[in-house]
Amino acid sequence: MYFFSWPDDILARLFAAFDARQCYRPATWRARCPMPSHSRGDPARSLSIWLSCDRRWIGIGCWACRGRCGGHGYKADIVSMVGLTMGDLFQPRLDENGAYDWRNKKARPHIQPKIVAVYPYTDENGEVLYEKVRYEPKDFRLRRPDGHWGIEGVRRVPFQLCELLAKPAWPILYLEGEKDVLTAESLGLLATCVMEGGSGSGWDHDSPYPVYFQDRRVVVIPDEDAAGLNQAAKVVGALVLGGAASVRLAHLPGLEYRKTHGADLTTWVEAGGTRDELIAVIQSCKEWRPS
Ligand SMILES: [Zn+2]
């Protein structure tokens, strides 16, 4: 069985079958427990249904049945009454594009995410400030050098800051992700990105990043999708206002625009794009100036 929108389909099914009511707590509902030990259809609504804070799983539990059965086995009985399994209560895994893979049966739950890359962000002296950890299925988390997750209050810097400082005369390619930065470096170019990636959220008015691009020539190369183009406009604006010497917006030739998961520099290089072509593209695009 697959679902087009997890968790809504699952919740709708449970709500309808067990007459659920929203509880005073957020994302929590009280329903009539269907187990036979409840008399008169469980008027007390002993069955709790809730959605986890990270929206990755649906919890169910009946305080009465838990005590009576001394275990969790009754939960499987409850979900089986509406044609579900316990696995359906967990978010399906993502496909290779990072989208929910509703149709792939093998993609059903409990996939332990694997770390596939760690990208260190360092200060001017090469001290690691934080690391961006990439998982498969595609997901990112940030951690501090002491192993703590999250970077609340930690100074934010562009990726490969030491490289940027070591080559002050070089133009900088601004890309959406660390993988693309490494691709550009493999072509012998200077490149960077920020830990917020393609969301553009790091480039608001109080952004910590423009200062690192003062008096530098910057070429912004967005992913060819809606989010990529939106964030590129934001980045270009912030760079111009922040005092970059010049800012260009480059589109890689032959990349098909897609609404989401658009192609990026890595895709382009994998499809045969070369360093010379890339440089030609950059030189052919006009400098961005405030009008
Ligand atoms: Zn019960």
Mean pLDDT, each 10-residue run in order, the chain (291 residues): 67 91 88 88 92 88 81 87 88 63 51 83 96 83 87 92 96 94 96 87 90 96 85 92 93 76 86 92 81 57
Q: CA triplet 83, 100, 176: central angle to 5 degrees?
A: 165
Cα–Cα dist 65/14, whole Å: 17
Q: Are 131 and 125 in contact (CB under 8 A)?
A: no
For position 36, what pLDDT does the model report?
86
Q: How far is the CA of 9 from the centre of ligand 1 (A)?
A: 22
For position 114, what pLDDT does the model report?
81
Q: How far is the CA of 40 from the centre of ligand 1 (A)?
A: 12
Q: Are 79 and 88 in contact (CB under 8 A)?
A: yes
For position 107, what pLDDT does the model report?
47
Q: How far is the CA of 24 from the centre of ligand 1 (A)?
A: 20
Q: How far is the CA of 34 from the centre of ligand 1 (A)?
A: 7
Q: Residue 181's closest CA among 208, 205, 162?
A: 162
For position 96, what pLDDT does the model report?
59
For position 219, what pLDDT does the model report?
96
Instruction: List, as ranges, residues with CB under 5 A of the ion ligand 1.
Output: 33, 35, 62, 64-65
Q: How far is the CA of 201 from the centre of ligand 1 (A)?
A: 45
Q: How far is the CA of 73 from the centre of ligand 1 (A)?
A: 11
Q: How far is the CA of 11 from the centre of ligand 1 (A)?
A: 18
Q: How far is the CA of 92 from the centre of ligand 1 (A)?
A: 27
